[in-house]
Structure 1
Amino acid sequence: MPFARLASATTPTCHLGLGLAAVGRPGYINLGRDRDLGADRSVETLRTRTHELLDAAYAQGVRYFDAARSYGRSEEFLAEWLGARPGIDDVVVGSKWGYTYTADWSTDAEQHEVKDHSVPTYRRQRAETAALLGDRLDLYQIHSVTPDSPALTDKELHAGLAEAAAQGVSIGFSTSGPAQADAIRAALAVTVDGEPLFRTVQSTYNALETSAAPALAEAHDAGLTVIVKEGMANGRLAGTYAPDALKAVAEETSYGCDAVALAFVLRRPWAGVVLSGAATPLQLASNLRAAVVDFDEEQLARLATLAEDPHAYWDRRGQLPWH
């Protein structure tokens, strides 16, 4: 398992990763994006920004980088960064297939991505990822599995993923939606020739959306590495958008709301890698302070009161505008 590299790393931020959803394309649903990125969203500007973030993350001990076919040019930007730094061989690189980016580098496209978990889409996107990342790819994940996803039952797809695993690529899946726990448990039951297919799970978990926690603990106990995405709820737990209880704990600990929100996730014993979705080096530096935030039990209990009904949470997420 490539994630053994993370477990053996000596830096305090080794279990924090960098996700490229916010910088690999000009439009995304994170709050505060206009302030973070400004008006210039050209390919060259975002390429430069991504490379600067990767440099800053690596310098501060981050060793997991997460991309996807649907994150615009994230794989391309990451591949260029790796190619320009041949001495860097201690990072873990993950990407995802299952969504096709359709916005054509626009922030106001009618549709930004199209989901398809079919075998032809897997084969096409696997070839596209291989052309960019080659043997630097450590982990390939099915993007946003839900309980009704054909990816859970398609034996031909499972055989193709098992073939990739036999060639040295770890196979994982990510989840989204209010039934994440059901999707996780269904995926844990998927086997090929009697062996579990998946080695990692990437799910949304944060102080507002905690419903997947029991299933993630089960996945961890089954030997999967758990990767947590959206630890700041697409910006709802950051800065001015944060709820009062989080702001109060942040003030008491002398850290930013973003660091406290990510530290809340890091406290979970099953959390292997927690992703930062930073768009600027300053945001990244603040996010990485999560590694040293300390709570007492009373503060942790106050943060636990922020949890929402998962259906309400995902309904609100679905209403966030692409901008």
Structure 2
Amino acid sequence: MVEMRALGDSGLMVTRMGLGMAALGRPGYITLGHAEDLGRRYDVAAMELHAHAVLDVAWDAGLRYFDAARSYGRGEEFLGSWLRARGIDPAACTVGSKWGYTYTADWRVDAEVHEIKDHTLPTLQRQFAESRERLGDYLDLYQIHSATEDSGVLDRPEVLDELARLKASGAVRAVGLTLSGPDSARTLERAFAIERDGRRLFDSVQATWNVLESSLGPLLARVREAGMGVIVKEALANGRLTPRNTDPAFSASRAVLEREAARLGCTIDQLALAAVLDQPWVDCVLSGAATVEHLRSNVAALDVHLDEPARAALASLAEPPERYWAARAALPWQ
């Protein structure tokens, strides 16, 4: 079994690594090589079987945290059907999902618009009902999907009150938010200060942290010390920290990754994940694997231990946040 940790003071338990459904629930995604991962087989039934096969391997490997979202196509549906088909006790795992984006691609990879962001109360109410329909009693953690200053979600008391009501009523066990973009620190500072009934509203944060974008680390350490659970997403930078990144501009960074991985006897994706697991404030890091092979490789990162030369080498790869997020924004859906 993979090591379990308390997700801050939320009362939820998570494994050090979890599985995210972003690349498994819809035919189009921005991860490098996504089309090849799915074998360009986009039939719904085929994709559900594929998702179940990856989930089976995750379960057998000891992963017990699973993360979905309303905008992940049929991600919640695939996860829910797998949990029920395998007869998994809701108490034996922890499931998180998210609201705030509506999937609009209609199962097309070449859609002009893949998702629409809306952080208003009617969207929260509609999407929570949809998430409950698909995940039922398995749903533990409900998160605002990509809370940003632009979306205005933290300035909407009616939304914050509804999240507090969902938690107080027992409809979910905890509420959280996920972050995106170079202004994530400001958003997290504000979210951390929000209270309802004399208690902090948000139990957890899901944030991007990897060896290219590590700027949020000190703040994540601080909120974790204060009891907020921390889940890390995009540890592999949407495939940029894997052998699939053949961009000539990345060659120097890739050489560092390959050298350190060879020295430690692992692959570069395992090294990048190990760098996340090396941070003491991380409760859970998400694998975004879309294939059984990639998931098995990701899980092996749990056995990779960094030394000081590796930590120093990986720290040298950090990019300015604005550059990192501009590169991410330029990734095509595929």
Q: TM-score, normalised by structure 2?
A: 0.92
Per-residue deviation at 1:2? 7.5
Distance 1:79 1:211, change over 3 A: same
What is aligned with 1:164?
Answer: 166
Higher relative contact order (CA 8 A, sep 6+): 2
For 1:136, give the aligned amino acid: Y
What is aligned with 2:121?
Answer: 119
Per-residue deviation at 1:130? 1.1
Matched, 1:281 2:292: yes
Partner residue of 2:93 out of 91, 94, 110? 91
Q: How does 1:144-163 map to 2 (within 5 A)?
A: 144-163=146-165
Distance 1:45 1:66, change over 3 A: same
Per-residue deviation at 1:85? 2.1
Per-residue deviation at 1:5? 5.9
* SS of the residue 1:238 aligns to: coil
What stretches of structure 1 of length at least 5 have no aligned partner?
8-13
Per-residue deviation at 1:58? 0.7
* SS of the residue 1:239 aligns to: coil
What is aligned with 2:323?
Answer: 312
Aligned equivalents of 1:118, 1:226: Cα separation in 2: 25
Matched, 1:177 2:181: yes
Q: How does 1:1-323 map to 2 (within 5 A)?
A: 3=7, 6=13, 14-89=15-90, 90-168=92-170, 169=172, 170-241=174-245, 243-323=254-334
Percent sequence identity over aligned pairs: 50
TM superposition outliers: structure 1 runs of 4+ over 3 Å? 1-7
Bigger drift between 170-179 and 78-87 goes to 78-87
Aligned equivalents of 2:209, 2:126: Cα separation in 1: 30
Per-residue deviation at 1:80? 0.3
Aligned equivalents of 2:137, 2:89: Cα separation in 1: 14
Aligned equivalents of 1:88, 1:54: Cα separation in 2: 15
Bigger drift between 178-187 and 105-114 goes to 178-187
Aligned equivalents of 1:161, 1:5: Cα separation in 2: 17
Per-residue deviation at 1:146? 1.2
String of CA shifts for 1:127-154, please: whole Å, max 9, x gaps.
Answer: 1111111121000000001133322121
Per-residue deviation at 1:311? 0.5
Two-structure CA RMSD over aligned residues (Å): 1.4
String of CA shifts for 1:155-189, please: whole Å, max 9, x gaps.
Answer: 11111101110133110000000111111111001
* SS of the residue 2:19 aligns to: strand
Aligned equivalents of 2:130, 2:104: Cα separation in 1: 15
Per-residue deviation at 1:88? 3.4
Per-residue deviation at 1:115? 0.4
String of CA shifts for 1:282-303, please: whole Å, max 9, x gaps.
Answer: 1000001111101210111001
Aligned equivalents of 1:109, 1:35: Cα separation in 2: 18
Aligned equivalents of 1:249, 1:34: Cα separation in 2: 29
Count of aligned residue pairs for this structure pair: 317
Aligned equivalents of 1:310, 1:290: Cα separation in 2: 25
Distance 1:281 1:240, change over 3 A: same
For 1:205, give the aligned amino acid: W
Aligned equivalents of 1:39, 1:134: Cα separation in 2: 31
For 1:135, give the aligned amino acid: D
Aligned equivalents of 2:203, 2:88: Cα separation in 1: 27
String of CA shifts for 1:218-270, please: whole Å, max 9, x gaps.
Answer: 22012111000000000000124271111111111111111110000011111
Aligned equivalents of 2:33, 2:263: Cα separation in 1: 24
* SS of the residue 1:228 aligns to: strand
> Do 2:98 and 2:142's aligned partners in 1 also have CA atoms closer than 8 Å?
yes
Per-residue deviation at 1:195? 1.2
For 1:64, give the aligned amino acid: Y
Aligned equivalents of 2:175, 2:85: Cα separation in 1: 27
Aligned equivalents of 2:85, 2:165: Cα separation in 1: 30
Aligned equivalents of 1:176, 1:102: Cα separation in 2: 20
What stretches of structure 2 of length at least 5 have no aligned partner?
246-252
Aligned equivalents of 2:314, 2:130: Cα separation in 1: 42
